[in-house]
Amino acid sequence: MKLKVLFVAGCGVTDFTLSLLNSAGTLCRMPESFRLDLIRRPRRMRRTAALRALTNETVVLPQDLIQPLFVIDGAGPAEPIESLPGIERLPISKLVEECEALSALGIPAVALFPKLEASCKSDDGREALNPDTLVLRAIRAIKKAVPEIAVIADLALDPYTLHGHDGLLDLSTGDLANDATVEILAEMAILAAQAGVDVVAPSDMMDGRVGAIRTALDEHGHEQTTIMAYSAKFASAYYGPFRDAVGSAKSAGTSNLDKRTYQLNPGNRREALTEIALDEAEGADILMVKPAGPYLDIIREVREVTELPLAAYQVSGEYAQIMAAVEKGWLDLERCREESLLAIKRAGADMILTYFAKDYAESLLG
């Protein structure tokens, strides 16, 4: 018999196979005396479930999660969202019940997104400044019934405009009017704060909007209202189901609405860090990277350059692709759900907006 050694050279013996072959080339048992001379054996700490628990570096808990919720007007039934299996648009009464259930599970916050009737939409999105608009009524109802849960209000015009963009269109250029949009966002922030919201979350990516919103809130006596800035929001292909959920895709006539003049180029890392730095300088309390899963490298880089709390949004397309594969029987839901959230937390996110929040928290109860 002869000893055959296969190894990968270059940085020491890192990957090798030792086997004894007889003359016919059949694998034989190694001699009982064979032992590798190793001081460190990392597998020791993976040997049992108890040891693996002791060395676990990353844990996702219910208090790390924020549940996005879609609200509709009226007193009718909840509306299933076909592209987001298991997620529904909720009338305010059921929205309140859902917040009560989420709070009982230990989930500390919800992010609200309204779906308006077409009759409420216009080119200038003026319904966003209605003091009795749907999302403001929803905020009041939640804070009255479940005061302990933090409510996050999205600041953007896409649910309110006929064209589906996040701000006001400049008809002369076909692009968004940055400063005019920021003026409206600041007014939206004041209305949300007056309704009792805990956090306003500008998701529009207009230049200067965080500073303008901070100034407006402070001048109107809302110094304690938190700003969660969608700081590095990329022009992603993963937003389709969300646009369906709030009706902005249909109002624009396409699920491929082009927002590249204001959302970030997916290939641009340095530009994302510039946006992060600007939002921090303008007074953001929480920074966000969106989407989460395809941008784990950006989450890690942001974590290394700021001490501010960092949020990441596991967006609708990330959720939908997992659910679609689960429905096909190709993936295990619980394991993929947990692994996807662990990856985001491990990359450096302090909090995760995810459509899995409620189901994940329920799974921890056994």
Tokens encoding 139: 């905020």
CA separation for the pair 204, 290 (Å, rounded): 12
CA separation for the pair 177, 242 (Å, rounded): 24
Q: Which of 233, 259, 345, 358 does the annotation list as catalytic? A: 233
Does residue 233 have an active-site annotation? yes
Question: Could you give the angle at which helices 209-219 and 269-282 cross, rounded to 10 degrees?
Answer: 20
Q: Which of 94, 115, 121, 290 does the annotation list as catalytic? A: 290
Does residue 94 have an active-site annotation? no
Q: Quick one: residue 86, left, alpha or beta (phi over 0 = left, psi -120 to 50 = alpha)? A: left
Q: What are phi and psi of 137, to 5 degrees?
A: -65, -35
Tokens encoding 358: 């409620």
- CB-CB neighbours of 330 under 10 Å: 9
Tokens encoding 293: 């899963």
Q: Report DSSP state, residue 122.
A: B
Q: Quick one: residue 83, left, alpha or beta (phi over 0 = left, psi -120 to 50 = alpha)? A: alpha
Walk across the sheet containing 16-21 and list its strands.
Answer: 2-7, 16-21, 27-28
CA separation for the pair 189, 166 (Å, rounded): 15
Residues with catalytic roles? 233, 290
